[in-house]
């Protein structure tokens, strides 16, 4: 990058200027959808969980599918911010802030779902270990409790990582701001001045946070997959689940990063910072995760046949040709076929194609969670106990509302914080030298 430090400061702080009318229109629409979702949830709490389409045998539906979906979305943020940092992939610098913000907001959205899913959501704190009168503690042998620890840890660590990376930038914002903005950003920057001592300890802490976040991200979706794999439901009880879920998580997350970055770079005119090279690299990563997905789908089906287990076989035949066949074929086609269009350089470098395929993968990955959860529960062992699940308007409304919730945070982030890291982009630029630039 051939930009000077002050140019970078100017360009990137420009994204924080007061927004135009379009921003408020989008924000307004987002709030309308969010309020509708809140209304639906309040209605569900007041009336009872029966207003959702959940039944016996399908006790997990859209809520749990969407929970898994959002946790998955969160994963690629950590991949880009922590794992690519450890691999010294410097191209990640201009996009990591947005990806990390996506992680934090996706977790804030995912965290709502287990609570929404509860019949008595006000008792959600029963999941936490705390001493109480009956002397009974939580069951640490339950995957659902592992989930609480994994997702809770992930949320705290990624929020910390996100905020730590922000501090030097907040100081830069503080130094250019005036009035109340200077006070607020000054407070958030915590007195950062960029001394050598500060950079030294900051660099060390950042490296260790990245090193801790890397195994964490792998553990989180593995544990989420064990919510399923630890049971004896056909189609769930499989050792492939952990790696399969982690790859799927990153697959969907990368697609979501593209879905968000493409309009953002256009609106903020960040083409000089978030270049086609960045988008192309994300597309290449999607080829990798798409290949793992295709392999996992293949393995699942092969084992269903090869194991000779009739229940497993019946489940996979039901998935492909039963009541939820449409979702199954969407899953297969969008996740394991469409991404391979990225092997063509022209597709990879076309903004329109990138955007379209990223949205298809998002849809495909949501469909995957729906297929895994609902089709397995709908047709378990005894045909007498089979059942069908259909989402109701309440579930659809809450689903839409939580999307609005995610994008609300993103809209606020886009205006209140630097969406591209000033510091890390400056690290890519050649430093000012008196005696000729070093190359």
Partner 1 sequence: MKSEMVRILGIFAHLDTFTRAIGELRHLGYGDLTALSPVPRHEIEEAIEGKKSPVRLFTLWGGIFGGATALVLTIATSTHYPLITGGKPIISVPPFLVIVFELVILFGALATILGMLINIRLPRIRLELGHDSRLSEDRFGLWVRCSADAAQRVQDLLHAAGAEEVRHERD
List interacting residues with partner 1 (CB under 8 A).
Answer: 4-6, 9, 129, 135-142, 145-146, 149-150, 152-153, 156-157, 160-161, 164, 168, 171-172, 174-176, 190-205, 208-209, 212-213, 215-216, 219, 223, 422-423, 426-427, 431-435
The packing angle between helices 143-176 and 196-229, to 10°, is 150
**In the complex, least distance from residue 202 CB atom to partner 1, rounded to whole angstroms:** 6
Q: Looking at beta carbons only, is 3 or 270 nearer to partner 1?
A: 3
Q: Looking at beta carbons only, is 200 or 266 nearer to partner 1?
A: 200
**In the complex, least distance from residue 377 CB atom to partner 1, rounded to whole angstroms:** 20
d(CA 305, CA 303): 5
**In the complex, least distance from residue 206 CB atom to partner 1, rounded to whole angstroms:** 9
**In the complex, least distance from residue 286 CB atom to partner 1, rounded to whole angstroms:** 27
**In the complex, least distance from residue 432 CB atom to partner 1, rounded to whole angstroms:** 5
Name the phi and psi angles at 303, rounded to 5: -65, -35
Q: Looking at beta carbons only, is 198 or 299 nearer to partner 1?
A: 198
Q: Looking at beta carbons only, is 137 or 393 nearer to partner 1?
A: 137
C-alpha R_g of the chain: 23
Q: Looking at beta carbons only, is 137 or 321 nearer to partner 1?
A: 137
| Region of residue 147 (phi > 0: left; psi between -120 and 50: alpha; otherwise: beta) | alpha
**Tokens 């949320």 found at:** 155
**In the complex, least distance from residue 225 CB atom to partner 1, rounded to whole angstroms:** 12
How many beta carbons lie within 10 A of that of residue 428, not counting itself?
14
CA distance to 18, 138, 165, per residue, from 334 (Å): 38, 40, 34
**In the complex, least distance from residue 156 CB atom to partner 1, rounded to whole angstroms:** 6
Q: Looking at beta carbons only, is 301 or 429 nearer to partner 1?
A: 429
Q: Looking at beta carbons only, is 227 or 395 nearer to partner 1?
A: 227
**In the complex, least distance from residue 126 CB atom to partner 1, rounded to whole angstroms:** 14
Cβ contacts of residue 139 below 8 Å, gap of 6+? 145
**Tokens 């995610």 found at:** 406
Name the phi and psi angles at 310, rounded to 5: -65, -30
Q: Give the CA-trace dihedral at 259, 262, 263, 265, to 10 degrees.
A: 140
Residue 81 contacts residue 257 (beta carbons within 8 Å): no
Q: Looking at beta carbons only, is 172 or 378 nearer to partner 1?
A: 172
Residue 117 contacts residue 64 (beta carbons within 8 Å): yes
Structure tokens at 248: 């799927």
d(CA 82, CA 74): 12
């Amino acid at each position: 990058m051939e930009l000077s430090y002050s140019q970078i400061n100017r360009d990137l702080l420009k994204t924080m200027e007061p927004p135009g009318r379009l921003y408020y229109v989008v924000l307004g629409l987002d709030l309308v959808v969010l309020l509708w979702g809140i209304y639906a949830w309040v209605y569900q709490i007041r009336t009872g969980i029966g207003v959702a389409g959940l039944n016996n045998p399908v006790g997990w539906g859209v809520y749990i599918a969407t929970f898994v979906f959002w946790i998955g979305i969160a994963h690629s943020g950590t991949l880009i911010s922590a794992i690519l940092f450890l691999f010294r992939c410097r191209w990640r610098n201009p996009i990591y802030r947005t990806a990390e913000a996506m992680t934090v907001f996706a977790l804030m959205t995912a965290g709502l779902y287990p609570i929404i899913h509860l019949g008595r959501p006000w008792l959600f704190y029963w999941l936490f270990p705390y001493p109480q009168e009956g002397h009974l503690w939580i069951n640490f042998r339950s995957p659902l409790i592992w989930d609480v620890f994994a997702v809770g840890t992930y949320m705290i660590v990624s929020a910390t990582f996100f905020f730590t990376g922000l501090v030097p930038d907040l100081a830069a914002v503080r130094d250019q701001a005036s009035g109340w903005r200077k006070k607020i950003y000054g407070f958030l920057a915590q007195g950062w001045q960029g001394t050598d001592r500060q950079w030294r300890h900051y660099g060390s802490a950042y490296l260790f946070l990245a090193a801790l976040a890397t195994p964490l991200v792998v553990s989180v979706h593995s544990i989420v997959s064990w919510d399923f794999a630890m049971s004896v439901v056909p189609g769930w009880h499989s050792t492939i689940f952990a790696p399969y879920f982690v790859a799927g998580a990153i697959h969907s997350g990368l697609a979501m990063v593209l879905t968000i970055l493409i309009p953002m770079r256009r609106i903020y005119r960040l083409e000089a910072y978030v270049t086609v090279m960045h988008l192309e690299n994300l597309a290449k990563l999607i080829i990798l995760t798409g290949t793992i997905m295709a392999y996992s789908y293949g393995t699942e089906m092969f084992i269903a046949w090869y194991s000779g287990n009739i229940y497993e076989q019946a489940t996979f035949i039901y998935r492909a040709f039963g009541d939820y066949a449409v979702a199954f074929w969407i899953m297969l086609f969008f996740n394991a076929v469409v991404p391979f269009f990225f092997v063509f350089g022209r597709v990879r470098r076309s903004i329109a194609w990138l955007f379209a395929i990223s949205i298809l993968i998002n849809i495909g990955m949501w469909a995957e969670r729906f297929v895994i959860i609902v089709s397995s529960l709908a047709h378990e062992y005894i045909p007498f106990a089979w059942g069908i699940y259909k989402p109701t308007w309440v579930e659809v409304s809450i689903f839409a509302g939580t999307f609005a919730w995610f994008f609300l945070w993103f809209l606020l982030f886009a205006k209140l914080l630097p969406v591209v890291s000033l510091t890390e982009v400056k690290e890519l630029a050649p430093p000012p030298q008196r005696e000729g630039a070093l190359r």
